[in-house]
Chain A
Amino acid sequence: MRRDLVSALFWLAVAIFAAAQGLALKLGSLKQPGSGFFPFWGGVVLGLLSLVLVARSLGRQSATGPRVRPESSRLLVVAGALLGYVLLLERAGFVAVTFAFLLLLLRLERRGWAFSAATAGAGAAASWALFQLWLKTQLPVGPLGF
């Protein structure tokens, strides 16, 4: 299957990279294995397995797997929102970022503005209370003081 070929080639690249890094870290000897010993051989094993998968996928000609392309643009929005949350968390503070994150995702699901804003507000406040006040997690504080 083509899908297997693509993924196997990806892991082959990872394997080559790992083995090369292992070599650079020094293999040591069998009597005194060095820092690079385990990553090098881990990479070699992964590489060999990837080659087995490459050979298998070339041997099999049935190329009708499920589509791999993301089926909806919401996926990209959600993935972007997640990364945005992580990167902005310490700059804007927990409450503000959480509110914006929940609002965006609820609007994405075509909920009304009023409902989304109210739910996002309640969600941000409740999670802050749960984690900061009750569980004593240190959540980042923004310029507004929360």
Chain B
Amino acid sequence: MEIVQGVLYGFQVALQPINLLYCFVGVLIGTLVGVLPGLGPAAAIALLLPSTFSASPVSAVIMLAGIYYGAMYGGSTTSILVNIPGEAASVVTCLDGHAMARQGRAGAALGIAAFGSFIAGTLSVVLLTFLAPFLARVTLSFGPPEYFALMVLGLTLLTYFARESMVKALMMAAVGLLCGVVGQDTISGRLRFSFGIRTLEDGLGLVPVIMGLFGISEVLLNLETRDQDRGIFAAPTTGLLPTREDWRRSALPILRGSALGFGLGILPGAGAIIASFASYAVEKRASREPERFGHGAIEGVAGPESANNAAAGGAFIPLLTLGIPANAVMAILLGALMIHGLQPGPLLVTQAPDVFWGIITSMYIGNAMLLVLNLPLIPMWARLLRVPYALLFPFVLLFCLIGAYSVGNNVGDGVVMWVFGIVGYLMKKFDYEGAPLILAMVIGPMMEEALRQSLILSTGSFAVFVTRPISAGFILASALLVLLPLITRRRPSAT
């Protein structure tokens, strides 16, 4: 009953004309950054954050959230038509999506990606609607030890799923924790790692760091490879509706992708990229003709595209119920909520029900908008992809520069962005990932506070983390995740 009331209230908020406008702008920009390779949702949200300062908190977050799930839709277009992932979570869509395009079935691939995304996106919002208030009530009983243990688990999961080496991912998490320390200590008030530089006294800005690590570094890397002939397929304007046979093949992959994506999306550190890869692997294994995969199997488009959208919905659960971001994008949304004076966490549903329910219900509307918008707009996005990179990249850089500067009208933030741009470029060259660094940097201060409060509570005993059952469970799961790769690696060499 409470949920029905909440949903109705949410629709009242989300259907206000101004919020509909923000939702529309958000999903449109999201699709755009999804389509354009080299500019992901994290950088785009960071870039647009300052422009929401004058809006109400609900409108601001509705728009920023729209960018995130909109990007999941847009990413598939580039994967299918150009064979370049528009967005990291659409990497696997290249495999079968582009193969379908080469067989003249681009329309069906784009169509099923859009429908799959819509179904999965909507299912995950339904789950979010029912689970979030329930979890918010459960997490009310969490104390500092539980929070600390959960954040340890989140960071461990992120490094466990790292594409490169786990050691390197753990190192990046440690670097992120140290970056989070910069600025004033919240408990003692002392300045740390600021070296007398004014910009650093307030801590490293999340926006400039993300712009550097995900925006600037990506452009620098792309500059090394001269514009190649991208071989864009003429965008189909007809044949976007999948046939009955397409639906028959795609129905189960969409449902499985939705469930898998939602589950992985909730876990801090997993997210849309992992979900899409996992879904592809599952579909290939479940298929009676796995040899069709990689040669234009529609299941290989339907599953992963559903999974990444469902994950985008699931990722809101830890943010709205615990105040802990599940990935880099959620980290910026957390920042956005706090800038607007809201404290995400178990109390959000009671303290700011308009925001809590407004965001959730706006996602139903946003998903519907995306479906209606995207199918007719596909030819336009495809034309956009023909703009040469040489013309595009100066503007991407310019937007990053303006974004970093305008957060606090501070040149120092521009310098921070530049430094992290170079560092991010080198990290990519040396095979380090940026995501663990960002997540650790955001939860670092929360983790430190929880750790120090826990130790004060327990008068200096680390046993507090293993004697409380929930916290012990989180710590045990983290330990298993760290030990698992060591055990499985040993086994083949022993035989």
Interface of A toward B, CB cutoff 8 Å? 3-4, 6-7, 11, 14-15, 18, 21, 25, 29-39, 42-43, 45-46, 49-50, 52-53, 56, 66, 68, 70-72, 74-75, 78-79, 82-83, 85-87, 89-90, 98, 101-102, 105-106, 109, 111, 119, 123, 127, 131, 135-140
Q: Which of A7, A38, A106, A109 has the most CB of B within 10 A?
A: A38
Minimum CB–CB distance for B481 against chain A, Å = 15
Given contacts A31-B455, A38-B181, 7 further A-B contacts (CB under 8 A): A3-B430, A79-B418, A79-B421, A82-B421, A86-B418, A135-B51, A138-B406
B side interface size, CB within 8 A: 58
User: Closest residue of chain B to A4, judged by CB?
Assistant: B430
A-B contact pairs, 9 of them (CB 8 A): A30-B455, A35-B188, A42-B174, A79-B422, A87-B415, A101-B398, A105-B397, A123-B394, A138-B406
User: Closest residue of chain B to A32, judged by CB?
Assistant: B456
User: How many Cβ-Cβ contacts under 8 Å join chain A to chain B?
Assistant: 153
Task: State the CA gap A105–B391 with chains docked (Å).
Answer: 9
Tell me if A119 and B224 are in contact (CB < 8 A).
no
- B188 contacts across to A, CB distance below 8 A: 34-35
Tell me if A127 and B402 are in contact (CB < 8 A).
yes
- A135 contacts across to B, CB distance below 8 A: 50-51
- Which residues B371-400 have CB closer than 8 A to chain A? 390-391, 393-395, 397-399
Whether B351 is near chain A, meaning CB under 8 Å from some CB there, is no
9 shortest interchain CB distances as A-B pairs:
A30-B460, A86-B414, A109-B390, A31-B460, A46-B174, A105-B394, A38-B448, A7-B430, A135-B51
Q: Which of B168, B171, B395 has the most CB of A within 10 A?
A: B171
Whether B442 is near chain A, meaning CB under 8 Å from some CB there, is no
Question: Given A53-B168, A87-B411, A101-B394, do A75 and B223 touch, yes or no (CB 8 Å)?
Answer: yes
Task: State the CA gap A98–B402 with chains docked (Å).
Answer: 10
Tell me if A119 and B455 are in contact (CB < 8 A).
no
Tell me if A105 and B393 are in contact (CB < 8 A).
yes
- B310 contacts across to A, CB distance below 8 A: none
Whether B216 is near chain A, meaning CB under 8 Å from some CB there, is yes
User: Closest residue of chain B to A11, judged by CB?
Assistant: B171
Task: State the CA gap A32–B170 with chains docked (Å).
Answer: 27
Whether B167 is near chain A, meaning CB under 8 Å from some CB there, is yes
Tell me if B220 and A78 are in contact (CB < 8 A).
yes
Whether B192 is near chain A, meaning CB under 8 Å from some CB there, is yes
Annotate B199-221 by CB proximity to A: 1 below 8 A, 0 otherwise: 00000000000000000100110
Interface of B toward A, CB cutoff 8 Å? 50-51, 54, 165, 167-168, 170-171, 174-175, 177-178, 181, 185, 187-188, 190, 192-193, 216, 219-220, 223-224, 390-391, 393-395, 397-399, 401-402, 405-406, 409, 411, 414-415, 417-418, 421-422, 426, 429-432, 448, 451-452, 455-456, 459-462
User: Closest residue of chain B to A124, judged by CB?
Assistant: B398
Q: In the complex, which of the residues A21, A52, A82, A90 contacts B216, with contact meaning CB atoms closer than 8 Å?
A: A82
Task: State the CA gap A74–B421 with chains docked (Å).
Answer: 15
Tell me if B455 and A33 are in contact (CB < 8 A).
yes
- A101 contacts across to B, CB distance below 8 A: 394, 397-398, 401
Minimum CB–CB distance for B394 against chain A, Å = 4
Question: Given A29-B460, A74-B223, A82-B421, do A42 and B402 touch, yes or no (CB 8 Å)?
Answer: no
Question: Given A33-B452, A56-B167, A82-B418, do A39 and B397 touch, yes or no (CB 8 Å)?
Answer: no
User: Closest residue of chain B to A37, judged by CB?
Assistant: B452
Tell me if A68 and B430 are in contact (CB < 8 A).
yes
- A98 contacts across to B, CB distance below 8 A: 398
- B414 contacts across to A, CB distance below 8 A: 85-86, 89
Tell me if B175 and A11 are in contact (CB < 8 A).
yes
Question: Given A86-B411, A98-B398, do A35 and B190 touch, yes or no (CB 8 Å)?
Answer: yes
Q: Which of A25, A35, A52 has the most CB of B within 10 A?
A: A35
Tell me if A42 and B418 are in contact (CB < 8 A).
no
User: Closest residue of chain A to B432, judged by CB?
Assistant: A7
